[in-house]
Amino acid sequence: MTLERTVAAIRPADEPAMAAARELQARLTKPAGSLGALEDLSVRLAGLAGTSPPPLPDPAAVAVFAGDHGVHAQRVSPWPQEVTAQMVANFLAGGAVVNAFARQAGARVVVVDVGVATPVPTGGPGLIEANVRRGTRDITVEAALTRDECRAAVEAGIRIAGELVEAGAKCLLTGDMGIANTTPAAALIAAFTGTDPAGVTGRGTGIDDAMYAHKVGVVAAALARHTPDPADPLGVLASVGGLEHAALAGFVLGAAAHRVPVIIDGVIAVSGALAAAAFAPDAVAAMVAGHRSAEPGATVALAHLGLGPLLDLGMRLGEGSGAVLALPVVAAAVRVLHEVATFDAAGVSEK
């Protein structure tokens, strides 16, 4: 599906289904409101599905979008660029944190090469080849991507969401891998929320004070060079974003068009989610904030989207790790509506 057709397919949450879920929550054998954020989540998911109770988020699939970054040349990450491709191999071998968490939570992992610069293992199970170009251009010098390249990455994300839903997924989860990708994530969050670079730039994989100060300057320089217009999300992604950020935006839009929930991971994912919301404000109805990444930009972006994170564990990894950890919480929130007895049925007295 094209970007335009996908955006056109995204509809607001279904109010009658939300009302039905709220009314059911009130009749279940527990004090009203006692499940806190899980009650709100169950109502939102009913609104997304257009039915109460909404389907259980099972099976679930996490797509790890991998890409490289020209801005890596500006020394914004201590890690060599080839770690992106090496981690792709690690994901495919099942040896990364996201794989361990996915086995724990019962989610399938697919890995998408949307823009890795160095060779990745080909042909293995679980790898989706969608390489638009071998890494972006340096955003401090020129636009990361042409609009056509950017659209191709967004539409790859849309297509992969569609394929996973077609294969039966009832819940999608975002993952990312790309050395230096917290830099374009910060630039995207600054552009979409109008926040100063210093308020959205974090320490990524763990950088010292000198590299951090330099990184804030790099984000500021990219924004000053391109002056991205938040009303033109494709232009924002193309000028200061990245291939995995663009693909994640498309993945979120694809989930929303299919009315399937998408659990958002950390700062990379939420920067893509901001782009998705700029394309289609109603896409927010499909988003579940898995966790609050320790990266400051994640908190700024979640507030802009009006989403509260389910978990807050001080994590700052990416890969989809925080989204996968939140999956059992999402499943539990929905299971309540399916399985908890009403006061009437259980013969429990009301207050």
Ligand X SMILES: Cc1cc2ncn([C@H]3O[C@H](COP(=O)(O)O)[C@@H](O)[C@H]3O)c2cc1C
Least Å from the CB of residue 195 to ligand NIO = 16
Chain residue whose CB lies nearest ligand NIO: 266
Comparison of 58 and 82: residue with beta carbon closer to ligand X: 82
Task: Report the residue from 14, 149, 265, 319 that binds ligand X according to the rule CB under 6 A.
Answer: 319
Q: Which stretch binds ligand NIO (CB under 6 A): 207-215, 238-246, 260-268, 277-285?
A: 260-268
Question: Is 182 near ligand X (CB under 6 A)?
Answer: yes
Give residue for tokens 């308020």.
199
Question: Is 68 near ligand NIO (CB under 6 A)?
Answer: no
Comparison of 254 and 266: residue with beta carbon closer to ligand X: 266
Using CB under 6 A, which residues numbered 77 to 106 contact ligand X?
77, 79, 83, 87
Listed in sequence order, the residues at least 6 apart from 309 whose beta carbon sits closer than 8 Å to its beta carbon are 289, 290, 291, 292, 302
Question: Is 205 near ligand X (CB under 6 A)?
Answer: yes
Question: Is 267 near ligand NIO (CB under 6 A)?
Answer: yes
Measured between alpha carbons, how far is residue 41 from residues 38, 243, 282 in Å? 5, 30, 16
**What are the residues facing 65 on neighbouring strands?**
112, 176
Task: Report the residue from 28, 105, 316, 333 that binds ligand NIO according to the rule CB under 6 A.
Answer: 316
Listed in sequence order, the residues at least 6 apart from 289 whose beta carbon sits closer than 8 Å to its beta carbon are 263, 264, 270, 302, 305, 307, 308, 309, 310
Q: Nearest-CA neighbor of 7 among 267, 315, 250?
A: 250
The helix or strand, by DSSP H or E, that contains position 79, with its residue range, turns out to be none
Q: Nearest-CA neighbor of 182 among 296, 99, 308, 326?
A: 296
Least Å from the CB of residue 36 to ligand X = 30
Catalytic residues: 319
Using CB under 6 A, which residues numbered 283 to 302 contact ligand NIO?
293, 295, 298
**Polymer length in residues for the chain:** 351
DSSP 3-state of 129 = strand
Q: Which does 316 bind (CB under 5 to 8 A by kind): ligand X, ligand NIO, none?
A: ligand NIO
- Footprint on this chain of ligand X (rule: CB under 6 A): 77, 79, 83, 87, 176-183, 204-205, 317-319
